[in-house]
Amino acid sequence: MTAAVLPAPAPASTAAPVRVVLADDAALFRSALAELLERHGCTVVAQAGDAVELVAAVEAHRPDLAVVDIRMPPTHRLEGLRAAVALRERDPDLGVLLLSQHVEAAHLGELVGRVARGVGYLLKDRASGPEFLDAVRRVADAGCAFDPEVVSAMLGTPRRRHELAGLTPREREVLALMAQGRSNAAIAADLHLTTKTVETHVRSIFQRLVLPDEAEHHRRVLAVLAYLRAS
């Protein structure tokens, strides 16, 4: 099962390396992530073992992305998440990729409900290869990346369904597949539709959700976040 990733504009080959701050109290895990990122062209500008160090590192280095364990010292509750929310309030352009040992979807809205870009949430067992690297690049480039288990958990939590009340059943199907990171062509194949028909459904979803008339990439992010919040 692959992580649910929203399309983000492909970076140019001359783009500067993604500058990353890593925050996790497990030093070996953090070091392994740092090595993986450095091997694939990212620059790890700082590492942090708790939320206080995370905030200080982000303020000192102004990275493109913070990779943050949700549960950190001293209580191992939600210190990482709280720090991430505070950092995003100060700098909405900071990308934040949350990591967690277990699905904790109930808290995701605290982060994604504030700024509709540059956010992600992966389970730690996926933070080891291409999925993780793809999520890092997309979140740093103002896209989104959600673990499919997190998405599934949120779908089981009924909240604010009125936000999607105007969508047809078919549009809900299309939007659900968008939340899994599917392209229009992949959605068409899954639903046995033409790509043109899917494009029509996507435009209708944007209109029914009254999303701002911006680039399709950003509108897809907004649509999926609406889906996650309301499901």
Q: How far apart are the C-alpha atoms of 215 and 63, rounded to whole Å?
A: 25
Q: 136: closest CA among 38, 49, 54?
A: 38
* pLDDT tens column, 70-114: 999 988 888 998 899 899 889 988 999 999 888 766 566 666 655
* pLDDT tens column, 141-197: 887 777 777 666 655 555 445 667 888 999 988 988 887 667 899 899 999 999 999
Residue 160's pLDDT is what?
Answer: 45
pTM exceeding 0.75:
no
Using only C-alpha atoms, the chain has a radius of gyration, in whole angstroms, of: 17
Q: 215: closest CA among 2, 3, 28, 7?
A: 7
Residue 10's pLDDT is what?
Answer: 46
Residue 159's pLDDT is what?
Answer: 47
Spell out the residues 6+ positions from residue 6 whose beta carbon is closer than 8 angstroms to its own. 138, 143, 144, 145, 178, 181, 217, 220, 221, 224
Here the tokens at position 36 are 């993986």
Across the range 37-57, mean pLDDT stands at 96
Residue 58 pLDDT > 80:
yes
Residue 11's pLDDT is what?
Answer: 46
- Top pLDDT among 220 and 156 is at 220
* pLDDT tens column, 201-211: 999 998 888 87
Q: How far apart are the C-alpha atoms of 31 and 22, rounded to whole Å?
A: 9
Pairing of strands 119-123, 95-100: parallel
Asked whether 147 and 3 are in contact (CB, 8 A), the reply is yes
Taking each helix axis from N to C terminus, what angle separates 195-208 and 184-191, rounded to the nearest 10 degrees?
110
* pLDDT tens column, 105-131: 656 666 665 555 688 888 888 777 788
Amino acid at 42: C
Which structural domains are found in the chain, ordered by start?
4-154 (3.40.50.2300), 159-230 (1.10.10.10)
Residue 224's pLDDT is what?
Answer: 72
